[in-house]
Structure 1
Amino acid sequence: MTNSVELGELKLPNPLMLASGTWGFGETLPRKILSSVGALVTKGLSLEPRTGNPPPRLSETPCGLVNSIGLENPGFEVFRNRILPRLLALGPPVIVNIFGESEDDFFRLAEGLAETGIAGLEVNISCPNVKKGGIAFARDPEGVFRLVRGLTSVWERFFSVKLSPVGPVEEVALAAEEAGARALTCANTYPAMTVDLSRGTPRLHLGGLSGPAIKPLTLRLVYELSRKVKIPIIASGGIMSARDALEYLSVGARAFQVGTAILIDPEAPRNILSELDVALKDR
């Protein structure tokens, strides 16, 4: 079996994590797949329910997928009371992806999740800070420092900051590390759009590109950041096979997330782990 991995104080049975937003809340994958991975990273969670964007929400592109889901989720209360107990019963560590429009939103979510038995948090900073005029946290290193430092006062266990791949990525990563983040997830989707030629208008205007198309870009980010920060890096971006995962691990990632591959083949996580076992034995 693939070796266990330590991300600071968090120990995972293997380095494969299911990426946020690609497996719902467990409804879309068989239990045997969910129970075999290193960790489950939930869909993004906000304090209040969000209906998300109207369709269309997905658009295929060569070697990728553009999504514009709009962070749809049932809100904190429904998640904590109805969904989380089922996820915890699956076995792997559960990491909850959280987002908000203000620092206080993040703090309240962290406080509310403190006694639930989850393994950690993934902090999505690719969202607007309304108190800063709509500037995304991910473009504001000073804002990220304040957010992360504030989180450390209400959350004492593992949490990873999920970086945006655009903007001052290195400055934001260093600010998160200095403020007390335990790990960095590198990275979120890339801003993208698709066009409806029949109408001559954007099909998806505010979308995010994922899949194999972004792997070389994110691979470079992981390589560069691993030489700047001391905390673990969790790679996320276009991993479709064990070879992809090994490339990320070889340039400095400690663990990796699988996302778009699940939408193509629900068996992808298990297949990647099996291939990884063989590859590691042969090295």
Structure 2
Amino acid sequence: MRGVEEDLAAGGGPAHAGEPRLLDDTDVPAALAVCAQDPVAAVLATTRLEQAALHGLRRVGGQLWGYDAGGRLAAVCWAGANLVPVVPDAAVREDALDGFAAFGRAQGRRCSSVVGDAAAVLGLWDRLAPSWGAVREVRSDQPSMVIDHAPAVDPDPAVRRSTPGEYDLVLPACVRMFTEEVGYSPVAGTGGAYEARVRSLVREGRSFVRIESGASGPQVVFKAELGAVAGGVAQVQGVWVDPARRGEGLSEAGMAAVVTLTRRAVAPTVSLYANHYNERALAAYRAVGFRQVGTYATVLF
């Protein structure tokens, strides 16, 4: 089999069946078709591929790795800030992950996480771990849940899209959520990538909040974002309730509002994933009407 380093140098183009290759813009439609086989599991990759279909892979800021089998593209892996393997056909999983791992070893680690369907993520990490070194955390069991109907509880009428003028209220809540979830602050100075991401989500109408008046002025008591939207799926991320207000049912009613607003104007299917040990959050999502359809995994560096 031709070496992966040769593929990296050569770029896209024909490859023998059963070989990994670096894909180019002409491969994006076929890659989207691979992702469409499991749109919930693949939504993080599909988001980037839909952008690449419009603007080209180079402008989107990542690479696309592929694996051909039986004369067709059978698996893909988005390699950007996150590494997202998509291998819907279990029959080619081992060979495809071998190929993707060869690309990863040749390039070295450039991502902050490996995330997606658990079988693909954990299989890829098993292959990369010896050469990529230390990892901060492996979250191997994250139930992937969806809702594609009206929520089972009444939506909170106070939950709405945030506005650009509320960015200075939204950002601290996002930072608190991230720090609680990951263990460190995502903010390093001002005007960084995290701040730009939050600002973009607010501007695009993908940030949802409940804001109340407090002793020191308005404050966010519930918030959530649509972190990925593609292929008819909107993935909710960053769900957070102010610790002082937990236990009041804000998460259930707030998520019901997010589902309602999202299904009305963004995508018919709303998804999310959470750590298996976060029983309170999982119970809240089930109460809203979410059901588990798979399992995600995340490797954090």
TM range (shorter): 0.3 to 0.5
Greater RCO, CA 8 A, separation 6+: 2
More helix by share: 2
Which entry has the higher C-alpha Rg, 1 or 2? Answer: 2
Q: What TM-score do the two structures reach when normalised by structure 1?
A: 0.32
